[in-house]
Amino acid sequence: MSKLFEEDKPIYIQIREKIEDQIINKQLKEGHQAPSTNQLVNFYKINHVTVSKGVNQLVDEGILYKKRGIGMFVAEGARELLIQKRKESFIEDYVLKLIQEANKLDISENEIIGYIKKIKGSDTI
């Protein structure tokens, strides 16, 4: 497998996330054309079906839309939709677990905030 991909996550999800990241980072702007499935297949050297699965999920969610015979485009409002989705996922995947573990260890809210400020202000990130 290419070193561009993690082994513990399906490639189609990673393709999807790469496109999402480009939209969030404004590398792909709303209303502009996104890379075609063929371009992604050639760039990443992976199966067409794999790429299509990730791209089609973005189409199904209204992040991308197809213009027949022209290509794939980033939908208006896609960036905000992705940011909101990622924030919800961040809360579920990280904040909730952080709070649960802090409660087990009897770490106060102020201590948690102090740790976050200390780490965020350091050179470790």
| CA distances, 27 to each of 18, 73, 94, 111 (Å) | 11, 13, 26, 37
Domain boundaries defined on the chain: 11-78, 79-120
11-78 placed in CATH 1.10.10.10: yes
Q: Read off the pTM.
A: 0.81
**3 vs 37, residue with greater confidence:** 37
Q: How confident is the model at residue 4 (pLDDT cuts 50, 70, 90)?
A: confident
Predicted pLDDT of residue 51? 95
Predicted pLDDT of residue 115? 92
Tens of pLDDT along 22-35? 999 999 999 999 99
pLDDT of 7 over the 70 cut: yes
H or E element, residue 71: strand 71-74
Tens of pLDDT along 60-101? 999 999 999 999 999 999 999 999 999 999 999 999 999 999
**122 vs 40, residue with greater confidence:** 40
Tens of pLDDT along 31-54? 999 999 999 999 999 999 999 999
pLDDT of 1 over the 60 cut: no
Of 4, 19, 15, 24, give the one whose Cα is nearest residue 49.
15
Q: How confident is the model at residue 3 (pLDDT cuts 50, 70, 90)?
A: low
Q: Residue 45's CB: how many other CB atoms inside 10 A?
A: 8
